[in-house]
Chain A
């Protein structure tokens, strides 16, 4: 059933599919102008944004109502949309890995990463994806796209702002001046451990996001 839901969601965003091939071009230009290091996370975030399109089309075409006239459980609707999003996450990773060497050919700052660093950037991308997913999907499942997009975009910005502000504040306390440097030093020496931790945390956040989404969507009236 989840496969059917993925196919239905994909078909529903037919109007947006033409934009998908533009994503790698945009990422390539961005990586070329700024830094190739951003290529993989950008691909992942763009693919996450792309996976939100079924929410955008569902209100215009009343896709939710179509789903609920079909022999489909609400839980399966949520599972299908998460599965499509995870597939797009995978596509984003592959896209980023493929584009990064190309960007390195033309970019001013070149980054020839070891396998460990590749894994770390991918893990960081997964974590970013999971955080954005947690803030967006449950809200979109609860409120729909028009109302939900506001909170779905601003909540993570607020969250990252608080995290950054909090960390900066702690770093400024006496004795913590080297906190960030110490952390980076520790991370660079334990890349695989840090990467594994980020993936595990990301997976946990995704499970939480899915559980909340199922709960809110199952209580929604259409």
Chain B
């Protein structure tokens, strides 16, 4: 189980690095799907099977397909890819990457100080739905309103 966690973590990190460095949009999308599926495996290992399913269905399924449809509509050609390669020079990304590396180093340093072992307990869909329709009922309603607002505004913005 612990091996699966580290393997999926390595997959997620490598795929995410490929996402931010690749020049072709569709390749980056496929790498992003790999990264999201690896995170879904981590959720499963951590005893959150419902979150893992949601990650696979909503993120890797619906949102990525939405991206893919828009890429098909835009129909970006070779010219965009060449342009993208010319933007990806080290002098563009070196300074931001270095600064964020320092930030990440600080985060890792702080987290490395203590090692709390946890034995994941499976929190199933039953416990989750009791909470969702109990104390978090208002949040669920607000989420539905947010999705409705997103739907209407996406329709309005993308109209000709």
Do the two chains belong together in a single complex? no
Q: Could you list which residues of chain A lie within 8 angstroms of chain B, going by C-beta atoms?
A: none
